[in-house]
Amino acid sequence: MDDTTHGDLPAEQRHLPVLLETSVQLLAPALQEPGSVHIDATLGMGGHAAAVLHAAPKARLVGIDRDPQALALARERLDREGVGDRATLVHATYDEIPEVLAELELPGAHGVMMDLGLSSFQIDTAERGFSYSVDAPLDMRMDATSDGPTAADLLRELPEAEIARILHDLGDERFARRIARRIVEQRETAPLVRSGELVELLEKAIPAASKASGGHPAKRTFQALRIAVNEELEILASAIEAALDCLHVGGRIVVESYHSGEDRLVKTAFARRTRSSAPPGLPVELEEHKPTFTPLVRGALQADEDERSGNTRAASVRLRALTRTRSAERAH
């Protein structure tokens, strides 16, 4: 995750898309026919989407993002790069792919891209409270127009055990129970409402010996709260199924994950679609039992050392990709 700030720069200089060339090479072959539809389900500032449109000049883009500010930045970028006339941008969460396609009267897609997690733009926008390096209100909602709970709301209202579970399960935080106890003790006098207050509490709660490695001591807690506030894993679970279901035969999907929980969901969903549904012991695999998808890469791709050194977001990326090999109409 990149915590540098470059908020005054245009989108293409503020966010370095991870594994960009690899993603484009995987998606472009499915998008060469006139009228091909590419869904960028996590549009962000449009880096991946612009590159795909350049590599597939006959394709059209449906760009989805839950963040209205990101959509505005992406629109500026796509127009600036001369591909905006082939782009329809939609304010939605990416589990709403079926509804978006129905609204646009499109029967499906030929490519789907999901670049999960937080964009550099969201970190750079200090008042959103995503960054532990800038003091701001503890908001962390990707869609600031929603009426959902903020990070401050969760820390004020959730039981100690639930806070500890969130920090452990979503942030891989070893000291989750200790931190949760401190948060509950703190809120008895003054609930945490700013990121700087939370960082100060974490500095005191996490043992000094563990701060020497593993990055900033607040990194895991902020990640966990962001995932919880935005219900990212719940939305991802249904979004992956929707994305796979919408693909035409020959269509391709690329998903980049940055968190073990995200990658586990993607890996499980992909595995289910790429294995036979034939009962054990069946002597001949019937047509309806054959997998509907085939992997495009072996396991999960990671960024090479050059990209990791130049882009901190690339350090934890796991890229998985499939192509649809047959219709699911007869599958069980």
Query: 310 labelled as ligand-binding?
Result: no
Query: 48 labelled as ligand-binding?
Result: yes
Torsion sign, CA atoms 190, 194, 196, 198: positive
**Cβ–Cβ < 8 Å for 47, 78:** no
Phi-psi region of 130 (alpha: psi -120 to 50; beta: other; left: phi over 0): alpha
Classify 118 as helix, strand or coil. coil
Query: 94 labelled as ligand-binding?
Result: yes
- Measured N-to-C along each axis, helices 219-229 and 232-246 cross at an angle, to the nearest 10 degrees, of 60
Strands in the chain per DSSP E: 37-40, 60-65, 87-91, 109-115, 247-257, 293-295, 318-324
Query: 47 labelled as ligand-binding?
Result: yes
Query: 46 labelled as ligand-binding?
Result: yes
Bridge partners of 137, per DSSP, are 194
Structure tokens at 99: 């509804």
CB atoms within 10 A of CB 44: 26
Instruction: Indicate the annotated binding residues.
Output: 46-48, 65, 94, 115, 122
Binding-site residue numbers for S-adenosyl-L-methionine are 46-48, 65, 94, 115, 122
